[in-house]
Amino acid sequence: MTGLVKDITDWVGAVQVNSALRERIELWRDKAQALEDKVVELEKENAALKEAAAKMQNQLTKPLTSSDYVYHKGAAFKRLPSGGANSEFVYCPKCYQTMGSPHGIGVFQCSFCKHHAGFSGHELSAIQRELAKMIA
């Protein structure tokens, strides 16, 4: 129990009181102890959550390397922790910026270094299937 609650309950304990009041004091003492226990539990949980958040933040800010990508047809695809590749996004294999396909039908091109992939936007679904087969 914290110092203030303990001091108050000790002081009240020294005073002559009837049994009904003594029961109420015990009830409040129990409630105060339960709240203090909950505070300790929540502080531990909060510390664990802060640690987990810091780990996740470090993973997000960790720079990616070339081994973090799968390369196919002049483009890069991020590797997934499960071992597959995220074929939703196409990355430039030179500068690792996202590549775009004009109107979804043109050849994928990096807007930063102007690198062209070996396929166009309408071929992306076939590329996704090829990647799934390559990695499986």
Contact 109, 118 (CB under 8 A): no
Identify whether residues 78 and 51 lie together within a single domain: no
What integer pLDDT is reported at residue 35 of this predicted model? 92
What integer pLDDT is reported at residue 58 of this predicted model? 78
Identify whether residues 129 and 70 lie together within a single domain: yes
Grade residue 26 by pLDDT with cuts at 50, 70 and 90: confident
Residue 18's domain comprises 3-61
What integer pLDDT is reported at residue 61 of this predicted model? 65
What integer pLDDT is reported at residue 13 of this predicted model? 63
Identify whether residues 52 and 85 lie together within a single domain: no
pTM of the model: 0.53
Neighbours of 120 (CB within 10 A): 17
How many folded domains does the chain comprise? 2
* Of the residues 30, 61, 92, the one at which a domain ends: 61
Of residues 119 and 22, more confidently modeled: 119
Residue 9: enclosing H or E segment and its boundaries? helix 3-14
pLDDT in tens, 46-89: 999 999 998 888 777 666 677 788 899 999 998 887 777 777 88
Identify whether residues 93 and 51 lie together within a single domain: no
Q: Three-state SS string across 41-96, please?
A: HHHHHHHHHHHHHHHHHHHHHCCCCHHHEEEECCEEEEECCCCCECCCCCECCCCC
